[in-house]
Amino acid sequence: MQYPLTEKIGNPDLLVGREKEFRQFDKWLSLIPDRLSKSKAILARRKSGKTAFVQRIFNRLWSDNGAVIPFYFDIADRGVWYPDFAVDYYRTFASQYISFIERDEELVNKLLSLDKIREYGLKNSNKLLVDDIDSLLIDKERGFHDSMWKTAYSAPHRFAASLNTRFLVILDEFQNITQYIYRDQNCSGKPDETLAGSFHSYSHSYSESKIAPMLVTGSYVGWLLKVIHQYLEAGRLKPMRLSPYLTQEEGLQAVYKYAQIYKEPITNETAVQINELCLSDPFFISCVIQSDYEDINLTTKEGVINTVNYEITDETAEMSLNWGEYIEKTVKRVNDRHAKNILLHLSQHASRYWTPQEIKDELHIELDVNKIQEKLLIMSEADVIDRGVSNIQFKGLSDGTLNLILRNRFEEEIKGFMPDLKQDFRTQIEALKTNEREIQGMLNQLSGKLAEHQLAAAFLIRKFREVDDRRAAILSVQDKSWTPSQSTNEKKTCKTCNIP
């Protein structure tokens, strides 16, 4: 497989799991040539892996060189002048289209200028490209910025119709189109909040295109849903929620993979512990494996606990920094003690819905019920709690990572004492002993999926503890090159890698 689009995840091997999601999308993608696939919206909070997911879809389609041509565009969270946005959008589309046709990987990341695109169109008798470039340049000179944008956003559908082919339009962080595009050249004043509506009009709905369906993503679920409902009308894009968590087995696989790639020593036992404390959250696992904690030692239980605790509690840790930014953006409108108390409570009791009156009674809040509901509505729009079917039902997110961050940030202020996260982590690890047989079976299954040299490399241990014959047998894989010695006191050596 080729990777013409540089994936934000970095090393492509870092994308682990998501087998269920890829199977679902494989079916959806396979129906695009027959015009049977409806546009989709992937809903997931930040650091859930959705950008890695859609970028991998792009690279797979590009590598397959089949009937569907992928187009990927990231709508950044920074101000841009309207006509410049239109030109950037079209240059990205045209460059990626040409790269697909010519099998030139370089053009995916190194965009062609408008002049080069026109030159290519003339050379290859592609009237669509030539006419579009002429229109863009003339409209820009005349100040017809709406016409420029229409040329850009309609291009995939027009090309698909004219050339009898299919496109997939992938728009990452789609909600940003309502907040960062300015009619004013200095990007001052208010942004144009209506641009999302460009993809749905009475004359033509590009969000409903079956020859160039859309796949949009958003890190702020409430915001994205509001944009979709307001400008694309309900039902135009079929929503799909992407969990930030992998399955337990996929999470364990991620631990091994990340440890291997980042050359961080672990053991079988601590791999399970890391996965447990990180909740099979690949971003959380990545932060722990790459942690800057000065005493990092992921070969012992206490070393794992200390490193996980550092990532949650230290304000300079990557995990804490990322979540701090997220919470600051989403909770700033209700940044008071009552709101924090409500948020913490809902997060810790996320198994049921709560009404404003129930919250008032449970937490003994001296606020009017209507005031409590106002705060709940703001928090639901900010994607830190869920809203029920009725207007008075709210519940916390089933997001263990968020709960840990909230406890560390708010529990002392609300309850008067700091949470003892380390002790909680110890309790979690102790509970693993009751599932030892299940975990052992999972390790057996996992060893059959990963090549032996990958597992062995993941166990580059400074002072690797001796392992017994039974645990070594778990690592036995199809080529049988891992050969445990007869004595449990002898070190085991992988013949493939020659690593003790």
* Pair of tokens at residue 96: 């990626």
Pairs from 11-14 (Cβ < 8 Å, separation ≥ 24): 11/261, 12/56, 13/257, 13/261, 14/52, 14/257, 14/258, 14/261, 14/286
* Pair of tokens at residue 299: 């070969």
Range ranked top by mean pLDDT from 2-16, 36-50, 122-136, 256-270: 122-136
Chain centroid to Cα 465, Å, comes to 36
Mean pLDDT of all residues in 252-269: 92
Overall CATH class of domain 12-241: alpha beta
How far apart CA 18 and CA 485 sit, in angstroms, is: 37
How far apart CA 87 and CA 91 sit, in angstroms, is: 6
How far apart CA 365 and CA 338 sit, in angstroms, is: 7
How far apart CA 336 and CA 415 sit, in angstroms, is: 14
Name the nearest CA neighbour of 317 among 282, 291, 283, 285: 291
3 SS3 class:
coil
pLDDT at 495: 37
pLDDT in tens, 184-235: 999 998 999 999 999 987 667 899 999 999 999 988 887 888 888 888 875 5
pLDDT in tens, 328-340: 766 666 657 788 8
pLDDT at 217: 94
pLDDT at 437: 64
Name the nearest CA neighbour of 416 among 336, 316, 337: 337
Q: Are 130 and 121 in contact (CB under 8 A)?
A: yes
Whole-number CA gyration radius for the chain = 26
pLDDT at 314: 87
CA distances from 276 to 108, 235, 245, 279 (A): 39, 38, 12, 5
How far apart CA 77 and CA 59 sit, in angstroms, is: 24
* Pair of tokens at residue 343: 């948020």
- HEC secondary structure over 173-226: CHHHHHCCEECCCCCCCCCCCCHHHHHCCCCCCHHHCCCCCEEEEECCHHHHHH
Pairs from 129-137 (Cβ < 8 Å, separation ≥ 24): 129/94, 132/90, 132/94, 136/86, 136/87, 136/90
Identify which has the larger pLDDT, 474 or 29: 29
Mean pLDDT of the residues in the chain: 84
Instruction: Write phi, then psi, for 362 (nearest 5 degrees).
Output: -70, -40
How far apart CA 362 and CA 356 sit, in angstroms, is: 10
How far apart CA 82 and CA 194 sit, in angstroms, is: 12
Name the nearest CA neighbour of 225 among 432, 26, 380, 62: 380
Instruction: Provide the pLDDT confidence category of residue 434 given band limits of 50, 70 and 90.
Output: low
499 SS3 class:
strand
Instruction: Provide the pLDDT confidence category of residue 178 given band limits of 50, 70 and 90.
Output: very high
- HEC secondary structure over 300-363: CHHHHHHHHHHHHHCCCCHHHHHHHHHHHHHHHHHCCHHHHHHHHHHHHCCCCCECHHHHHHHH
Q: For residue 148, list its beta bridge partners.
A: none
Q: Which residues contact 130 (CB under 8 A, 6 or more apart)?
A: 118, 121, 122
Least confident of 70-79, 169-178, 431-440: 431-440
Mean pLDDT of all residues in 404-410: 77
Identify which has the larger pLDDT, 428 or 253: 253
Torsion on CA atoms 2, 280, 286, 244, rounded to nearest 10: 70
Q: For tokens 């792009």, name the residue.
A: 58
Q: For tokens 């997060």, name the residue.
A: 347
Name the nearest CA neighbour of 342 among 329, 328, 326, 357: 357
pLDDT in tens, 387-405: 887 888 999 877 778 778 7
Name the nearest CA neighbour of 287 among 272, 270, 309, 265: 309
Q: Where are the domains of the chain?
A: 12-241, 245-449
Other CB atoms within 10 Å distance of the CB of residue 246: 23
Instruction: Provide the pLDDT confidence category of residue 353 given band limits of 50, 70 and 90.
Output: very high
Q: Which residues contact 356 (CB under 8 A, 6 or more apart)?
A: 369, 370, 372, 373, 376, 392, 394
* Pair of tokens at residue 370: 């209507």
